[in-house]
């Protein structure tokens, strides 16, 4: 059964539940690593898109409460533009790539903060309820250029991050082309363009919001894991 | 009990083994090559283990920076990677090293959250065989193994049968092997896993709720060698199944 919040009123009408993220697409995030990218364990900067999955246990609706593990006590609030695939995309050319999208959606990609990107860090990135999607999919036709969208993150009502998509190493179209070269994306799949560098952190008891111009505002709250434990 | 999911005559069917091949739920008996085999259960989240056999760790030791004492090396895969028994996987012309990996696939049977190892086996519905291909040319040291190596279309083969957990008295006492064109190239034993099935379920369910249909690919032993276009790769696990895959070239995909 598709959870209710994965349904939308634009094609493909519901999300597939398959959500991919893109690591270090923001040039500033890669630059911040400095010379470390040339040293062990990385040895070289990434060439292909570095992807990860937010599996089905992570998916939650806009407005959800997210559990913060006691260890560390904080989550990183990754604010991402979600590209919603509208038709099967296999080996799409960059020039046509946007035509494969149904629309766009705000994604809150929450992780336990980590500084090593050598291993996939599933324990830190795939925690229950750590991927909020919503509040709505907006049709592609309503967004003239996804690569300039402004994004704003607040914690407890205070603006803690302002960014836009123009600093991404791969644009929306380029990312779709490079990803679909080796893995086919299906209608309803979501591919995150990448989290802007400098993602804020928040603790249990705090509220956060992510707003992308034209897409709406996604709200969430953080609660201590032990309070959510059943 | 063993069950499969196949396509035949314009519809999807459940099937069980039969002396002549398999039998559909509607009674029809068919040869093994008369149907299209799908992954044998509705697959949820695909959780894969890297470096979970001590001998394989040794095999790769030169290029690794981890030891077997680290926490399990877990990575996730998307649904596009999955294909069934007797399927075809693309062997890229440009890649120097593409290899199979024979793995015991553990299928979760019910919602599992913070399960202790001692109780974990009650959450296992059953098992199947997995051949999880990798193209090592594309390895990069970012969220390694990166998806371009491990999440390619059609690169994760599952089947042929889903075998009930009740029919497998000890999943850590199974011999597994891979044959390329009939020649044994990889042999191992599930007793040599570094992190056992109950340990993996405890580890995973501590931070992610596992659901029925989620599958844990428990890693592969040593003996991974390059395969080429036209090769028939058979991964088999005693008592679980014999999974066949054939490698086809770029031209099959119009490349």
Contact between chains at B141 and A43 (C-beta distance less than 8 A): yes
Candidates A125, A183, A186, A230, partner chain B, best to mutate (most B CBs within 10 A):
A183
Contact between chains at B143 and A119 (C-beta distance less than 8 A): yes
The alpha carbon of residue B31 is apart from the nearest alpha carbon of chain A, in Å, by 31
Are B30 and B170 in contact by the 8 Å Cβ rule? The answer is: no
Mean pLDDT of chain A: 95
Contact between chains at B144 and A127 (C-beta distance less than 8 A): no
Give me the long-range contacts of B181-185 (CB less than 8 A, separation at least 24): B181/B231, B181/B232, B182/B232, B185/B223, B185/B225
B chain contacts of residue A44, beta-carbon cutoff 8 Å: 140-141
Contact between chains at B65 and A118 (C-beta distance less than 8 A): yes
Contact between chains at A123 and B71 (C-beta distance less than 8 A): yes
Candidates B112, B143, B149, B204, partner chain A, best to mutate (most A CBs within 10 A):
B143
Are B245 and B157 in contact by the 8 Å Cβ rule? The answer is: yes
Strand-strand pairing, A190-192 and A74-85:
antiparallel
Contact between chains at B143 and A40 (C-beta distance less than 8 A): no
* Residue A14 C-beta-side C-alpha neighbours within 13 Å: 9
pLDDT for residue B81: 97
Positive/negative CA dihedral, B203, B205, B210, B213: positive
Positive/negative CA dihedral, B113, B118, B123, B126: positive
Closest by alpha carbon to B194, among B27, B44, B73? B73
Instruction: Name the strands in the sheet holding B175-180, side by side, starting at the edge strand that comes first in the sequence.
Output: B87-90, B241-248, B232-237, B175-180, B183-189
A chain contacts of residue B151, beta-carbon cutoff 8 Å: 51, 182-183
Closest by alpha carbon to B218, among B200, B202, B206, B235? B200
Residue range(s) defining the domain that contains residue A105: 4-228
DSSP 3-state assignment of B250? Answer: helix
Shortest CA distance from A191: residue in chain B: B78
Closest Cβ opposite residue B79 in set A18, A90, A127: A18
What is the distance of C-alpha A183 from the center of its chain?
A: 18
Query: In CATH, what number is assigned to the domain containing residue A214?
Result: 3.90.850.10
Closest Cβ opposite residue B78 in set A47, A119, A183: A183
β-pair partners for A221? A65, A207
Candidates B44, B208, B216, B254, partner chain A, best to mutate (most A CBs within 10 A):
B208
ω into residue A203 within 30 of 0, thus cis?
no
- As to burial, measured by CB atoms within 10 angstroms (0-12 exposed, 13-18 middle, 19+ buried), residue B198 is buried
Shortest CA distance from A129: residue in chain B: B208
pLDDT for residue A227: 76
Contact between chains at B65 and A69 (C-beta distance less than 8 A): no
Contact between chains at A183 and B151 (C-beta distance less than 8 A): yes
B chain contacts of residue A56, beta-carbon cutoff 8 Å: 44-45, 211
Q: How far is Cα B121 from Cα B61, in angstroms, rounded to an integer?
A: 31
DSSP 3-state assignment of B235? Answer: strand
Distances in Å between the alpha carbon of B31 and those of B129, B159, B163, B231? 20, 16, 20, 22
Looking at the 3D structure of chain A, how many domains does it have? 1
pLDDT for residue A1: 47
B chain contacts of residue A24, beta-carbon cutoff 8 Å: 142
ipTM at complex level:
0.95
**DSSP character at residue A195:** P
pTM of the model: 0.96
What's the token pair of residue A192?
């995150």
Contact between chains at B211 and A57 (C-beta distance less than 8 A): yes
- Residue reference for tokens 């199974």: B174
Q: How far is Cα A97 from Cα A86, in angstroms, rounded to an integer?
A: 11
Residues carrying CATH 2.30.30.370, chain B: 1-38
The alpha carbon of residue B173 is apart from the nearest alpha carbon of chain A, in Å, by 28
A chain contacts of residue B209, beta-carbon cutoff 8 Å: 57, 128
Candidates A46, A47, A53, A177, partner chain B, best to mutate (most B CBs within 10 A):
A53
pLDDT along chain A (230 residues), means of 10: 77 95 96 96 96 97 95 94 98 98 98 94 96 97 96 98 95 98 97 96 98 97 82
DSSP 3-state assignment of A48? Answer: coil
- pLDDT tens, A178-188? 999 999 999 99
Residues carrying CATH 3.90.850.10, chain B: 41-253
**DSSP character at residue A16:** -
Shortest CA distance from A67: residue in chain B: B207
Candidates B73, B147, B153, B202, partner chain A, best to mutate (most A CBs within 10 A):
B147
Assigned CATH for B41-253: 3.90.850.10
A chain contacts of residue B73, beta-carbon cutoff 8 Å: 119-120
pLDDT for residue B70: 77
Q: Which CATH superfamily is domain B1-38 in?
A: FAH (2.30.30.370)
The residues of chain B scoring below 50 in pLDDT are none
- Residue reference for tokens 């959500």: A19
Q: What share of chain A is helix, strand, coil (3-state, %, to 5)?
A: 20, 35, 40
pLDDT for residue A79: 98
């Amino acid at each position: 059964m598709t959870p209710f919040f994965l349904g939308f009123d634009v094609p493909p009408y519901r999300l597939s539940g398959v959500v991919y993220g893109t690591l270090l697409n923001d040039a500033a995030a890669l630059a911040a690593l400095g010379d470390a990218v040339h040293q062990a364990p990385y040895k070289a900067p990434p060439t292909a898109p570095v992807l990860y999955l937010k599996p089905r246990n992570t998916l939650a609706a806009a407005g959800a409460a997210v559990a913060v593990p006691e260890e560390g006590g904080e989550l990183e609030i990754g604010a991402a533009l979600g590209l919603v695939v509208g038709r099967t995309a296999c080996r799409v050319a960059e020039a046509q790539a946007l035509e494969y999208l149904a629309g766009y959606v705000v994604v809150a990609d929450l992780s336990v903060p980590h500084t090593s990107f050598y291993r996939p860090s599933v324990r830190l990135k795939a925690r229950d309820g750590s991927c909020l999607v919503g509040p709505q999919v907006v049709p592609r036709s309503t967004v003239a250029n996804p690569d300039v969208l402004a994004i704003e993150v607040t914690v407890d009502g205070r603006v803690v991050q302002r960014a836009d998509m123009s600093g991404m190493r791969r644009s929306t179209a380029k990312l779709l082309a490079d990803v679909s070269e080796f893995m086919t994306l299906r209608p309803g799949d979501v591919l995150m363009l990448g989290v802007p560098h400098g993602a804020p952190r928040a603790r249990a008891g705090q509220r956060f919001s992510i707003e992308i111009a034209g897409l709406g505002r996604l709200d969430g709250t953080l609660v201590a894991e032990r309070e959510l434990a059943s | 009990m063993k069950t499969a999911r196949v396509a035949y005559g314009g519809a999807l069917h459940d099937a069980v083994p039969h002396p002549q091949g398999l039998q559909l739920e509607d009674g029809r008996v068919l040869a093994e090559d008369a149907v299209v085999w799908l992954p044998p259960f509705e697959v949820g989240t695909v959780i894969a283990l890297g470096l979970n056999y001590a001998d394989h760790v040794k095999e790769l030791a030169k290029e690794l920076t981890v030891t077997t004492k680290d926490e399990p090396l877990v990575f996730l895969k998307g649904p596009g990677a999955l294909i069934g028994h007797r399927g075809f996987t693309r062997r890229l012309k440009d890649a120097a090293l593409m290899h199979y990996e024979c793995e015991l696939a553990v299928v979760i049977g019910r919602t599992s959250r913070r399960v202790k190892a001692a109780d974990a086996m009650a959450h296992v519905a059953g098992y199947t065989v997995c051949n999880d291909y990798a193209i090592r040319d594309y390895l990069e040291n970012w969220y390694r193994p990166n998806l371009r190596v491990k999440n390619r279309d059609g690169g994760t083969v599952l089947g042929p049968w889903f075998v009930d957990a009740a029919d497998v008295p000890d999943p850590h006492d199974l011999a597994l092997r891979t044959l390329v064109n009939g020649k044994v190239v990889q042999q191992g034993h599930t007793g040599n896993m570094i992190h056992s099935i109950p340990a993996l379920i405890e580890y995973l369910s501590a931070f992610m709720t596992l659901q029925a249909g989620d599958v844990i690919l428990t890693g592969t032993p040593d003996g991974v060698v390059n395969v080429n276009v036209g090769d028939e790769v058979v991964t088999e696990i005693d008592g679980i199944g014999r999974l066949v895959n054939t490698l086809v070239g770029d031209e099959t995909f119009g490349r």
